[in-house]
Amino acid sequence: MKLLTCNTHSLVEDKYEEKLQAFVERVAEEQFDVIALQEVNQTHGGVKVEIENPEYLVTDENPVITSDNHVYNVVKMLADKGIHYYFTWTPIKLGYDRYDEGIAIMSRKKPEEVKHFYISKSEEYGDWHSRKVIGVKIEGCWYFSMHMGWWQEETERFTDQWEEFLANISEDDKIYLMGDFNNPAHVREEGYDLVLNSGFYDTYHLTGQKDEGVTVVKAIDGWRDKGAFAKLRIDFIFKNHDTEVESSQVIFNGDNGPVISDHFGVVIKDEGV
Tell me the pLDDT of the chain averaged across its residues: 93
Cα dihedral angle (208, 212, 213, 218), rounded to 10 degrees?
180
Phi/psi for 267 (5° steps) reads: -125, 135
What is the model's pLDDT at position 196?
98
Phi, psi values for residue 194, rounded to 5°: -60, -40
pLDDT, position 230? 66
Kindly report the backbone phi and psi dihedral angles of residue 196, in degrees, each rounded to the nearest multiple of 5, phi listed first. -65, -35
32-51 pLDDT per residue, tens: 999 999 999 999 999 999 88
> Amino acid letter at 118?
Y
Q: How confident is the model at residue 224 (pLDDT cuts 50, 70, 90)?
A: very low
CA distance 184 to 227: 14
Is the per-residue pLDDT at 177 higher than 90?
yes
pLDDT value at position 51?
A: 85
Give pLDDT tens digits for 187-221: 999 999 999 999 999 999 999 999 999 999 875 55
* Type and span of the H or E element at 160: helix 158-167
Identify the band that residue 127 occupies on the pLDDT scale cut at 50, 70 and 90.
Answer: very high
Q: Is the dihedral of CA 207, 212, 214, 215 positive or negative?
A: negative
* Cβ contacts of 44 within 8 Å, gap of 6 or more: 94, 98, 99, 100
∠ CA 111-24-118, rounded to 5°: 45
Task: Give the pTM.
Answer: 0.95
Local confidence band at 273 (pLDDT 50, 70, 90 cut-offs)? low
**pLDDT on residue 229:** 57
Structure confidence at residue 62 as a pLDDT band (50, 70, 90)? confident
Q: Is 210 helix (H, G, I), strand (E, B) or coil?
A: strand
Axis-axis angle for helices 70-80, 16-30 (nearest 10) = 50
pLDDT band at 223; cut points 50, 70, 90: very low
The CB-side HSE value for 145 (13 A sphere, CA atoms) comes to: 31
Q: Which residues in 176-208 are b (16+ Cβ under 10 Å) and which e?
A: bbbbbbbbbbeeeeebbebbeeeebbbbbebbe
Closest CA to 115 of 173, 161, 70, 57: 57
Question: d(Cα 260, Cα 253) in Å, to the nearest integer?
Answer: 8
| Number of residues that this document lists for the chain | 273
CA distance 54 to 129: 33
Of the pLDDT bands very low, low, confident and very high (cuts 50, 70, 90), residue 257 is: very high
The string of pLDDT tens digits covering residues 82-125 is 999 999 999 999 999 999 999 999 999 999 999 999 999 999 99
